[in-house]
Amino acid sequence: MSKRPDLRYERRLWKLGIDAVAGVDEAGVGPMAGPVVAAAVVFAPETFISGVHDSKQLTHEQREELFIPIRARAIAIGVGIAEVNEIDRLNIYWATMSASRRALSALSLTPGHVLVDGRLIPSLELPQTKIVGGDRRSFCIAAASIIAKVTRDRMMVDLDGQYPGYGFAQHKGYCTNEHMQLLIKLGPSPIHRRSFQPVAATAQRPLFDS
């Protein structure tokens, strides 16, 4: 088992008198269908929930189970979404940054500092620190990764009902062999990211061989 996140980064800020520390992470950067979802989570100082980890290190069942105490014990949670049309218009990086800013704006309080996984959020008018591999090192970032992942997975299950036949409820839009075969067979749906190469190649495929 890999080392689990702890409170070392949060405690450095709490000791400086910054009580409201927000962790930010996102889910859905890599898929070729569906939105990207970011979450921001703030806990009271010294709050800790055993089992919280980078969402990618947890099973679906573990994420769903941990989602409940995170929601119950956080003092603020914000979720931001960038839909497919925005991803295609801006590119996935800028759409993800927009979703992250929306997640912070959706908080019911203004954090004194933001801990973000991997890279700084441009144009953010809040103090922030990037932590490479933050979802495996910082408790509040790991909690945000779970909120973002569970929220997005549930959205993809709902989208599977709107666009049946693609298996969105199973693969959640990721580029699995099954998803690629269904994309080739059915063509892109309205929630496929046409700026992503596999979708673009399929969208440009002629309907009939000459």
Instruction: With a cut of 60, say whether residue 209 has pLDDT above it.
Output: no
Q: 109-140, pLDDT tens digit by residue?
A: 999 999 999 999 999 999 999 999 999 999 99
State pTM to two decimals: 0.94
Classify domain 8-161 at the CATH topology level: Nucleotidyltransferase; domain 5 (3.30.420)
pLDDT at residue 3, rounded to an integer: 80
Q: 53-92, pLDDT tens digit by residue?
A: 999 999 999 999 999 999 999 999 999 999 999 999 999 9
Q: 4-45, pLDDT tens digit by residue?
A: 999 999 999 999 999 999 999 999 999 999 999 999 999 999
104-109, Cβ contacts within 8 angstroms, sequence gap of 24 or more:
104/22, 104/24, 104/40, 104/78, 104/80, 105/78, 105/80, 106/40, 106/78, 106/79, 106/80, 107/22, 107/40, 107/42, 107/76, 107/77, 107/78, 108/76, 108/78, 109/20, 109/42, 109/75, 109/76
Which residue bears the tokens 């055993």? Answer: 50
